[in-house]
């Protein structure tokens, strides 16, 4: 039987893992709430480990964060944890995630101030980058984009807007080409049988 101390440790680990996964995807608690159908206030309590995590909430949050829940034999746990660390090893990922989250927040504020076609394009490009952020390895590029978007805020400068848009498009293009290069080629048959024709 599990002691209360070990139960609370497991709950704290689960809460921390969910929060890290949310931040790695560049999602706010409100974004995750919309995706998972779990109230934002409840997500906050889960992440702060101030409420017992219900299984239904755990499944909903995991699904929204592209995570799978699997029971692993205890003896295999070290190997599984090593694989997870290897698959997700990017020391700068949390920083990149924070840069992109801040960029999106600034864009939301800009959206409240004014609306232009360039701002629409910039918002779309940043959203695409956020969706593909696991492929972003250059923190300097993410930080430069954040700085460029920050420069627009308060200035209402078309030149600054275009510079930020050019940066975002370049970053998005680089990510897409990296992802495409890593995508496996579909298998091609060595030969093809001709269609059978009934005579």
Residues 36 and 52 in one domain: yes
pLDDT > 60? residue 162:
yes
Residues 75 and 130 in one domain: no
Q: Name the token pair of 109.
A: 């504020």
Q: What is the pLDDT of residue 33?
A: 93
**75 to each of 6, 14, 126, how far by Cα in Å?**
18, 20, 42
Q: Which residues contact 162 (CB under 8 A, 6 or more apart)?
A: 118
Residues 105 and 80 in one domain: no
Residues 61 and 29 in one domain: yes
**68 to each of 63, 71, 141, how far by Cα in Å?**
7, 10, 31
Q: Which runs of consecutive H residues, i.e. helices, occur in 88-187?
A: 93-113, 117-131, 139-152, 158-182
Count: domains in the chain: 2
Whether 160 is covered by a domain: the verdict is yes
pLDDT > 80? residue 180:
no
51 lies in which domain range?
Answer: 9-87
pLDDT > 90? residue 83:
no
pLDDT > 90? residue 175:
no
* pTM recorded for the entire structure: 0.45
Rg of the chain (C-alpha set): 22
Residue for token pair 């990296």: 178
Compute the mean pLDDT over every residue in the chain, rounded to the nearest whole number. Answer: 77
Q: Can you give the CATH number for the domain in which 19 is found? A: 1.10.260.40
**126 to each of 47, 97, 171, how far by Cα in Å?**
26, 12, 9
Whether 188 is covered by a domain: the verdict is no
* 8 A C-beta contact, residue 23 and residue 98: yes
> What's the mean pLDDT in 89-97?
64
């Amino acid at each position: 039987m599990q002691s209360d101390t070990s139960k609370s440790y497991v709950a704290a680990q689960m809460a921390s893992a969910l929060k890290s996964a949310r931040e790695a995807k560049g999602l706010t608690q409100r974004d995750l709430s919309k995706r998972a159908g779990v109230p934002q206030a409840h997500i906050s309590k889960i992440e702060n480990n101030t409420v017992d995590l219900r299984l239904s909430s755990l499944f909903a949050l995991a699904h929204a964060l592209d995570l799978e829940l699997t029971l692993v034999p205890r003896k295999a746990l070290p190997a599984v944890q090593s694989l997870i660390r290897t698959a997700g090893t990017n020391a700068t990922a949390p920083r990149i995630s924070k840069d992109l989250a801040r960029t999106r927040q600034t864009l939301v504020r800009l959206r409240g101030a004014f609306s232009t076609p360039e701002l629409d394009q910039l918002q779309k490009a940043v959203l695409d980058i956020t969706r593909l952020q696991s492929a972003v390895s250059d923190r300097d590029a993410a930080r430069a984009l954040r700085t460029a978007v920050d420069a627009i805020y308060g200035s209402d400068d078309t030149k600054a807007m275009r510079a930020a848009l050019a940066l975002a498009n370049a970053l998005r293009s680089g990510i897409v080409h990296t992802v495409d290069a890593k995508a496996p080629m579909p298998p091609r048959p060595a030969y093809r049988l001709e269609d059978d024709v009934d005579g």
